[in-house]
Amino acid sequence: MSVLKNDLMPVRTANDIVVVRQHVRALAIELGFSLVDQTKMVTAASELARNTLAHGGGGTARIEVVAANARRGLKMTFEDRGKGIADLELAMRDGYSTGGGLGLGLSGTRRLMNEFELQSKPGEGTRVSATRWK
Amino acid sequence: MTPRDTSVLPSVLQKRSGELLDAWIAHQTSADGYRPDLMADAELRDQSRELLASASAAVSAGGLESPTHPSWQATRQLLGSIAESRATAGFAPTATATFVLSLKQPIFEALRKDVQNPERLADELWNATTLIDRLALQTMESTLEARERVIARQHEDMLELSTPVVKLWDGILALPMIGTLDSARTQVVMESLLQRIVETGAEVAIIDITGVPTVDTLVAQHLIKTVTAARLMGADCIISGIRPQIAATIVHLGVDLSEVATKSTLADAFRLALARTGHSLGRAPARERR
Ligand SMILES: Nc1ncnc2c1ncn2[C@@H]1O[C@H](COP(=O)(O)OP(=O)(O)OP(=O)(O)O)[C@@H](O)[C@H]1O
Ligand SMILES: [Mg+2]
């Protein structure tokens, strides 16, 4: 997989989430994704960015345009050094939330994207990345 | 004067990249403008490393020749995004320029170690100063642009705050929502709707989300909560303006809106509301009546 474009953005305020979303939408349009796909990716970015801020105490978003096997895609990686997640399987379960949410952010994002990876260690932080291919 | 193509700067930047980064970070974190409250150390380090690597690559690819040399393309982009993120985080424009300028000291120190001839050193320092000043100016420009964009966005957010609850008909309220919904303001808008339901004794409230670009789980939860609260106060809600791409996304997210009445347009929702409140539009087709 090669990286054609790579932007690192802060996720520290609610407004940062808006900025990340706008950036993802602009790149998705540039890559020629359909309106439905654009919406899916923007929504996924919104979920992961909000988790980074709300559960992870803030961090960064890395938004990349990637290429592999003659396809291009958009990869988003969210990273924080917050409290981390003890039980990854539980966190991925539909409806599980420690914050009074719907508990659909992680599991929903996995359904919205083609690739999804969640890494976390309690006390060290969390890194989630998700990719959608054109 | 040292011709630029024989400058040692490219090799110094490459060879001493690790120590330059450490010295630069140490410099930044002990300087006046150090704001760990605005940016975490890890992020500061990432940003510094990326900028240093990018400038080093540009210089190696012939960037000392001219500020418009194509090798600067990536650095320019990077500075743009750094400026934007710092403006959004709340750094003053001068603080962001200082971040770049503070790279001078470590680079000067490195050059002093590597260049023994004083005249040669003077030339190299001049090259380095010109380079860093140029990067700082560029950052300043991007920062000002970024601040303008931030202000424009804040303006949009204000619009959101003033989203009006309108009385469409006797017993029917409408809330046309515009803009991004995931701030504390959503709460305010939703509460103002509930308040108006109480004041007017409305039986039906239409929440129109045509102007909402993203419906994620938080927005969905706000909608569901509002519908539930309105129901407790005796009013039915209809959500209108769910565009096809948003409907598809909501389904994949796993959000269940089956308990909530939805219509594709505000006009359709209004017809349904009229029917529910026992009114009818004279020219509405018979099948729209209940
Ligand atoms: N970055 C993170 N750091 C720490 N914990 C996290 C992080 N992301 C998710 N979690 C944990 O995983 C749980 C599930 O996340 P998920 O996004 O699915 O639901 P939620 O954020 O609680 O609600 P919502 O449906 O609004 O997203 C969270 O409640 C939280 O406990
Ligand atoms: Mg979430």
> Domain coordinates of chain B in residue numbers?
4-159, 166-280
Residue of A nearest to B214 (CA): A43
Residue A39 scores a pLDDT above 90: yes
Cα–Cα distance, B154 to B101 (Å, whole number): 30
CB contacts of A62 in chain B (<8 Å) are none
Task: Give the closest-approach CA distance of A81 to chain B in angstroms.
Answer: 9
**Picking from A46-60, B70-84, B93-107, B243-257, which range would have the lowest pLDDT averaged per residue?**
B93-107
Terminal-residue alpha carbon distance, chain A = 14
The backbone torsions φ and ψ at residue B175, rounded to the nearest 5 degrees and listed phi first, read -125, 95
- As a whole number, mean pLDDT of residues A78-102 equals 96
- Cα-Cα-Cα-Cα dihedral sign, residues B177, B181, B185, B187: positive
The domains of chain A are located at 2-133
pLDDT at position B280: 66
Residue B289 scores a pLDDT above 50: no
Q: Is A98 near ligand 1, meaning CB less than 6 Å away? A: yes
Give B46 or B68, the one with higher predicted confidence. Answer: B46
Residue A70 scores a pLDDT above 80: yes
Query: Residues B132-182: pLDDT tens digits?
Result: 888 888 888 888 887 777 777 766 665 545 557 888 888 999 887 876 765
CATH of B166-280, one of 3.40.50.720, 3.30.750.24, 2.60.40.1180, 1.10.8.60: 3.30.750.24
- As a whole number, mean pLDDT of residues B212-218 equals 89
Residue of B nearest to A6 (CA): B78
Q: Is A109 near ligand 1, meaning CB less than 6 Å away? A: no
ipTM: 0.92
CATH of A2-133, one of 3.60.150.10, 3.40.718.10, 3.30.565.10, 1.10.510.10: 3.30.565.10
**Picking from A60-64, A65-69, B133-137, B197-201, which range would have the lowest pLDDT averaged per residue?**
B133-137
DSSP B110: H
pLDDT at position A98: 96
CB contact under 8 A, A10 and B88: yes
Q: Using most ligand atoms within 8 A of CB, pick from A87, A89, A96, A97 the residue to mutate for ligand 1.
A: A97
CB contacts of A126 in chain B (<8 Å) are none
Task: Give the closest-approach CA distance of B254 to chain A in angstroms.
Answer: 6
Percentage of chain B beyond pLDDT 90 is: 37
Task: List for chain A the helix, strand, coil content (%; round to 5).
Answer: 35, 35, 30
Query: Residues B249-288: pLDDT tens digits?
Result: 999 999 999 889 999 888 889 889 989 988 766 554 445 4
With cut-offs at 50, 70 and 90, classify the pLDDT of residue A81: very high
- Cα-Cα-Cα-Cα dihedral sign, residues A96, A101, A102, A108: negative
Q: Which ligand is closest to the CA of B253, given by its number?
A: 1
Query: Residues B4-15: pLDDT tens digits?
Result: 558 899 999 999
Cα–Cα distance, B34 to B29 (Å, whole number): 5
Residue B203 scores a pLDDT above 60: yes
Measured between CB atoms, does A19 come within 8 Å of chain B?
yes
Residue B136 has a CB neighbour count (10 Å cut-off) of 20
Residue of B nearest to A99 (CA): B218
Question: Facing residues of A9 across strands?
Answer: A61
Cα–Cα distance, B224 to B82 (Å, whole number): 38
pLDDT at position B159: 53
Q: For residues A115 and A131, is the Cβ–Cβ distance under 8 A?
A: yes
Best to test chain B binding among A3, A13, A15 (most B CBs inside 10 Å): A15
pLDDT at position B71: 92
Q: Is A51 near ligand 1, meaning CB less than 6 Å away? A: yes
Terminal-residue alpha carbon distance, chain B = 90
Q: Using most ligand atoms within 8 A of CB, pick from A55, A77, A80 the residue to mutate for ligand 1.
A: A55
Residue B56 scores a pLDDT above 90: yes
Cα–Cα distance, B289 to B284 (Å, whole number): 8
**How many pairs of residues across A and B have Cβ atoms under 8 Å apart?**
104
CATH of B4-159, one of 1.10.490.70, 1.10.1040.10, 2.30.40.10, 3.30.450.30: 1.10.490.70
Measured at the CA of B93, the angle between CA B88 and CA B96, to 5 degrees, comes to 85
Percentage of chain A beyond pLDDT 70 is: 100
Task: Give the closest-approach CA distance of B150 to chain A in angstroms.
Answer: 9
- As a whole number, mean pLDDT of residues A14-31 equals 92
Could you say which of A10, A50, A94 has the minimum Cβ distance to residue B254?
A: A94
Could you say which of B85, B218, B244 has the minimum Cβ distance to residue A50?
A: B218
Q: Determine if the pTM surpasses 0.95.
A: no
DSSP B284: S
Ligand 2 centre from B209 Cα, in Å? 21
CB contact under 8 A, B182 and A46: yes
The structure tokens listed for A17 are 């989430």
- As a whole number, mean pLDDT of residues A78-99 equals 97
Residue located via tokens 């529910």: B276
Q: Is A102 near ligand 1, meaning CB less than 6 Å away? A: yes
Give A91 or B124, the one with higher predicted confidence. Answer: A91
Percentage of chain B beyond pLDDT 70 is: 89
The structure tokens listed for A24 are 């993802």
Collapsed DSSP state (helix, strand, coil) of residue B133: helix
Q: Is A52 near ligand 1, meaning CB less than 6 Å away? A: yes
Task: Give the closest-approach CA distance of B208 to chain A in angstroms.
Answer: 18
Identical fold for domains B4-159 and B166-280, yes or no, is no
- As a whole number, mean pLDDT of residues A86-112 equals 97
Q: For residues B179 and B212, is the Cβ–Cβ distance under 8 A?
A: yes
